[in-house]
A and B are shown apart, each in its own frame.
Chain A
Amino acid sequence: DTEVTQTPKHLVMGMTNKKSLKCEQHMGHRAMYWYKQKAKKPPELMFVYSYEKLSINESVPSRFSPECPNSSLLNLHLHALQPEDSALYLCASSQSVSGMAGELFFGEGSRLTVL
């Protein structure tokens, strides 16, 4: 059983919709991540939160808006997405950001389809 929980597992949305992806972990990890993964490609880092503060934004378009309400929760708000944004969105957490403690624990992902 994964200890990082993502909802929803599947999401279909139109280009004018507003939706959110949610992620939760109860391992006491202080770093949380959003990755995007296209088929047969490695994960691409989008955002990193460390101690609930946004530490990394990998030049992600503003139609993706992350939020970290507390140390256990991470959201990704979606608005005015494009069909090319269709992908598997992976949330991950790690004990810290360095060394072995930087081992990532991934959720099962939210598969997003934009029509």
Chain B
Amino acid sequence: GQNIDQPTEMTATEGAIVQINCTYQTSGFNGLFWYQQHAGEAPTFLSYNVLDGLEEKGRFSSFLSRSKGYSYLLLKELQMKDSASYLCAPKGDSNYQLIWGAGTKLIIKP
């Protein structure tokens, strides 16, 4: 079967670093996306990993280990605006469909 696991909620302090983990089991693998979604808004693209390793993009980095079925999103220098849900979405055999995790709600405190 296909399964995505990520924590339901995390809390962090402004200016700190937080790591959001995602483990997945999919039928085949064609890359993994991370999206950010603020409450009441549409998801926006953050990162894409298809090979093992770390992809850095400004304050956000994403890591992938295909052999472990594991990814994480690392957010540095947290800002209040980073309070949002973060959705892990690997792509399995079907090229059309992302398999969405339930999302991790990140709460940033001053």
**Which residues of A approach B to under 8 Å, CB–CB?**
2, 31, 40-45, 48, 50, 55-56, 90, 97-100, 102-109
Contacts and interface: CB of A to CB of B under 8 A. Distances in A.
Given A42-B102, A99-B31, A56 B42 contact: no
A106 B95 contact: no
Contacts of B25: none
25 contacts: A31-B96, A40-B103, A41-B102, A42-B87, A42-B100, A42-B101, A43-B43, A43-B100, A44-B100, A48-B96, A48-B97, A56-B97, A90-B43, A97-B95, A98-B95, A99-B50, A100-B31, A102-B91, A103-B48, A104-B33, A104-B43, A105-B45, A106-B43, A106-B44, A109-B42
Contacts of A103: 33, 45, 48
Contacts of B41: 108-109
Nearest to B85: A40
Nearest to B49: A100
**Interface footprint category on B:** 20 to 34
A56 B43 CA distance: 21
Interface in B79-95: 87, 89, 91, 94-95
B70 to A, nearest CB: 19
Contact of A107 (B33, B42, B102): B42
Interface string B25-58: 0000011010100000111110010100000000
Nearest to A90: B42
Nearest to A41: B102
Contacts of B33: 103-104
B98 interface: yes
A106 B42 contact: yes
